[in-house]
Amino acid sequence: MAVVNSVVLPIRTQEDIVRVRQAAREAAVGQGFSLVDQTKLVTAASELARNTLDYGGGGDVEIARLSEPPRRGVRLVFTDKGPGIADVEQALTDGFTSGGGLGLGLSGAKRLSNDFSIISKVGEGTQVMIARWR
């Protein structure tokens, strides 16, 4: 698997979430994703960017265009140095929320992606990776 190119964007404000959506859209379009696949990736990006801001206290995202002939993909890695998630299984349950949200962010982003992984250490932070392929 080769990384064609990648950018890192900060996630510190609500406007940054909009910018992450736009950059994810750009990468998906660049990789020739269908409109539905673009929308799924951008929606997942929006959920995870908001998690990074609201629960992680801010962080950044690396958006990478991947090439693994014959398929092409986009990978997003969200990293924060927030409080971490004590129970990842629970956090991945539909409807579970520690904030005021609907509890669909993490589980929904997972459903909208082809690849998903999460690493979290209490007191150190959280890293969530998603990828979508065409």
Partner 1 sequence: MEKIPILKMGRFLLVTVQVDMHDQLALQLQDDLTARIVAARARGVLIDISSLEVVDSFIGRMISNIAAMAKVLDAETVVVGIQPAVAITLVELGLSLEGVRTALDVDRGMTLLHERLADEQR
Site for partner 1, rule CB under 8 A: 14-15, 17-18, 21-22, 25, 35-36, 38-40, 42-43, 46-47, 50, 94, 101-102, 104-105, 107-108, 111-112
Q: Which amino acid is at 21?
A: R
Q: Looking at beta carbons only, is 4 or 96 nearer to partner 1?
A: 96
CA neighbours closer than 13 Å in the CB half-sphere of residue 46: 13
**What is the b/e burial string over 90-120, where b = at least 16 CB atoms within 10 angstroms of the residue's CB?**
ebbeeeeeeeeeebebbbbbbebbeebebeb
| CB of 83 or CB of 101, closer to partner 1 | 101
What φ, ψ does residue 129 adopt, rounded to 5°?
Answer: -115, 130
Distance (Å, whole) CA 16 – CA 10: 7
Nearest approach, Cβ of residue 48 and partner 1 (Å) = 10
- Least separation in angstroms between residue 47's CB and partner 1 is 6
Quick one: 100 or 123, whose CB is closer to partner 1?
A: 100
User: CB of 92: closest distance to partner 1 in angstroms?
Assistant: 12
Residue (5 or 34) nearer to partner 1, CB: 34
